[in-house]
Structure 1
Amino acid sequence: MPASHRPSPESPERLIGIQQHTPAYWRASLALFFAGYATFSLLYCVQPLLPSLARAFGISAASSSLALSLSTMALALGLLPAGAMAEVVNRKRMMLLALMVAGCAALFSALAPNWPALLAARLVLGLALSGLPALAMAYVSEEFDKPTLPAAMGLYISGTVLGGMMGRTFSAILADFFDWRWAMGLMAALALLALVLFVWLLPAARAFKPQKPDLVHLLSNFTAHLKNPQLRSLFVMGFLLMGSFVAIFNYVGFRLEQPPFSLSATAAGLLFLTYLGGIISARLAAPVRARLGHARALRSSVAAMLAGLALCLIPSLLALGVGVALFAFAFFAAHSLISAQVGSTANHAKAQASSLYLCFYYLGSSLVGYGGGYLWEHGGWYSLLAMLALLLALSFWIAKEPSSS
């Protein structure tokens, strides 16, 4: 937008922002919903396909998990520069570029001639998607009127939850009827359709004023956040909880293919419908926190995750389904609580604090998700659950510390 047409800092447009129940609100919110859907459907559509990829390429369960772990690792490492870039670049153009590159990488993944080529495409996909969370949250925080922020952010998060669920569920069903290549290709096509809707709907940024990059200042912000013991506790909890969450969903498909269940990919993929509970629990987290306080609410969420894990020990499809559903429900509540606490604990450079938290969050997804494969291969389902129980117990202990309350 030319400088002569950009609203001045004192203009009503700049001060008020996008208000709820206006056409601009619905356009922007739906655009961000589609962006959240595309991001997480592309990222996680490979998770239920891991058994199929292991068979197709003749690789182990742990190696097959690299299709997801490399993407989340690239996303995690890309979040730090993306968080800084969010202050200096045009948000809409960068989100458009990120989704376009990710969609093309996803299409190449479906056509990859060998395992290294598929992993390279997934690496590019993760790196491209790293721009979306930081830029989308920055767009919402600047362009929407303050009373409208929670509703707008909630719709964006709903899109991410729906994208994660549909990416996993649809790809499992498509793989059962066709094969994994068709599943990945069609998921990429749906994400590119979401990209078209995003570009059409999202209003141009009016409040954004690019800042001059200052590397020393940006690095000092990261250092200050890492020195803060309260933030460090929250970062570590994000690592442990997200790692546990991804690990159980990485290998539950392998578990369900084995006796006593012996389910098809479609039937196993329906387990990812438990993500729907995350939409509810993320919204319930705020009132529960107001009633119990942050530490007690967070400990309750982790305890519920442990209870869900205990149910997964029972060799019953009903118990496993309820256990995974409870695990997912409690995880999204914990994630919402920690995300809110990061924002309230950081007294400056909040976008960089959030990007640091998300960096730890996705590093946990990569490292614990991949490492859990070795336990699955050498010790089976119960060894994997024992490791996750230890990680959750550590999370519960950290949540009891004064620094997290």
Structure 2
Amino acid sequence: MQHSAIAFGTPEYKRINRAMAFGGFSTFALLYCIQPLMPLLARDFGLTPAQSSLALSLSTGTLAVALLISSVLSDRFGRKRMMAASMFSGGVLTLLAAFAHGYAQLLVLRALLGFMLAGMPAVAMAYLSEEIDPKSLGSAMGTYIGGSAFGGMIGRVLASFISDFFDWRIAVGAMGVAGLYAASEFSRSLPASRNFRPGERGAGALLAGLRAHLTDKGLPWLFLLAFLLMGAFVSMYNYIGYRLLAPPFGMRQSAVGALSILYLLGIFSSVWAGKLADRFGRRNVLWAVMSVMLSGLLITLLDNVLAIVIGMGLFTFGFFASHSVASSWVGRRARAPQALASAIYLFMYYLGSSVIGWVSGYLWSHGGWPGVVLLLGTILAVALAVAWRLRGLVPLNPLEAQR
């Protein structure tokens, strides 16, 4: 029996919004809290920057792989059960990571963390689409995405501040406790699915969907952009801390972590770019906001803290704007199964984070910050060429043709 969709302002809608805010916050706080701690891991375990980056790259890599698996499993076992299990296991694994006896053990726990956390982003959008009235879906989705961005920012900032006064183990442990609390609130707040129907999608249907999306003339280029843009973005925040902690800047760990507050610019720019794309068209806006990202990267070459912060701000602004335009274009371009197209986009998104984020560490070790900028500049130049190519893409359906 199909139940009526949940409308804006109802008690159920408020419960869902509260739960999704906790879900988005917890997932991305646990995933990215390790990023500002990488210089401390390198010091304590005697690692190179590339080796220390594995603490994040392995998590995002296993998350990328598990996204497709989790979406299929949730079709059989249920949305809420999958999301709650993902959050509780994420909190437990983060808490265990604080007691890791060596770096190898820490990497195993972080890899498991990424795999288990995938159940939340893979399923959240499906749950919302099934349960929320279409007229209220944008607001509910915005709450989840806002919670995700806020979680990623707060995870970095809190971990930096706590480690500055104590050590990285206490910082990671505190994030694990916060994750368990968020999981409890999520489970308590989220209503059970009312419109979910268990099903079993065969491998044949999955392969047919993959073939349809990967042979499209536009979608593979948008998937490539996800890989390039996220890889460049994570690399910036992975290694800028090494530069600012070292002479001549010598900044404190808490000050470097506080730079994650620049994420607030991204929360604004993603909304702004979406409105701009609705007005002028995605094909006309995408390359422009990516140019802002590239200009910010080049500014960070200056040996001045204020200039570096401005450059990071422009880079962050441009990234979130680009991601907003590209991901919404996937939704407009894709035909059935649309959810699979989004999953492929997210797979490439996190794969880029893992691969490029790791490779950038070698450029840092051998060429310092100019070496990292050379790599990321090349990546963004390729991304700009892809965006320019997409300007001539013929719309596939009426929805895409609406700018």
- Give the TM-score range, shorter chain: over 0.9
1:171 is aligned with what amino acid?
Answer: A
CA distance in 1, matches of 2:170, 2:197: 43
1:386 aligned to 374, 379, 401, which one?
374
1:64 aligned to 27, 48, 52, which one?
52
Structure 1, unpaired ranges of 5+: 1-7
Please show how residues 4-403 of structure 1 align to structure 2 within 5 Å.
8-9=1-2, 13-14=3-4, 17-401=5-389, 402-403=392-393
Deviations 1:85-108 (A, max 9, x none): 333321001111111111111111
2:82 is aligned with what amino acid?
Answer: M
1:75 is aligned with what amino acid?
Answer: L
CA contact (8 A) 2:90 2:179 kept: no
1:399 is aligned with what amino acid?
Answer: A
CA distance in 1, matches of 2:95, 2:217: 43
1:367 is aligned with what amino acid?
Answer: V
Moved more, 73-82 or 179-188: 73-82
CA distance in 2, matches of 1:295, 1:383: 31
CA contact (8 A) 2:68 2:122 kept: no
Deviations 1:237-274 (A, max 9, x none): 00000000000100011010112210010011111100
Aligned partner of residue 153 in structure 2, secondary structure: helix
Q: Report deviation, 1:376.
A: 0.2
CA contact (8 A) 2:60 2:353 kept: yes
Aligned partner of residue 210 in structure 1, secondary structure: coil
Could you tell me the TM-score, scaled by structure 1's length?
A: 0.95
Q: Report deviation, 1:84.
A: 2.5
CA contact (8 A) 2:88 2:179 kept: no
CA distance in 2, matches of 1:167, 1:62: 21
Aligned partner of residue 111 in structure 1, secondary structure: coil
CA distance in 2, matches of 1:113, 1:403: 53
Deviations 1:344-398 (A, max 9, x none): 1111011111110000000000000000000000000011011101111111110
Partner in structure 2 of residue 3 of structure 1 = none
CA distance in 1, matches of 2:188, 2:337: 31
CA contact (8 A) 2:22 2:147 kept: yes
1:252 is aligned with what amino acid?
Answer: I
1:89 is aligned with what amino acid?
Answer: F
Q: Report deviation, 1:223.
A: 2.0
Deviations 1:182-218 (A, max 9, x none): 0000011111111111011101111111123312111
Aligned partner of residue 391 in structure 1, secondary structure: helix
Moved more, 247-256 or 74-83: 74-83
Q: Report deviation, 1:75.
A: 0.3
Q: Report deviation, 1:404.
A: 8.6
CA distance in 2, matches of 1:390, 1:166: 30
CA contact (8 A) 1:308 1:323 kept: yes
Percent of aligned pairs sharing the same letter: 44
CA distance in 2, matches of 1:43, 1:98: 12
1:98 is aligned with what amino acid?
Answer: S
Aligned partner of residue 264 in structure 2, secondary structure: helix
Structure 2, unpaired ranges of 5+: 396-403
Aligned partner of residue 229 in structure 1, secondary structure: coil
* Equivalenced residues, count: 393
User: Taking structure 1 as reference, are residues 404 and 319 closer, same or farther at Cα in structure 2, changes over 3 Å only?
Assistant: farther
Aligned-residue CA RMSD in angstroms? 1.1
Partner in structure 1 of residue 400 of structure 2 = none
User: Taking structure 1 as reference, are residues 404 and 130 closer, same or farther at Cα in structure 2, changes over 3 Å only?
Assistant: farther
2:164 is aligned with what amino acid?
Answer: D
2:269 is aligned with what amino acid?
Answer: S
Q: Report deviation, 1:80.
A: 1.5
CA distance in 2, matches of 1:184, 1:26: 31
Partner in structure 2 of residue 5 of structure 1 = none
CA distance in 2, matches of 1:207, 1:251: 45
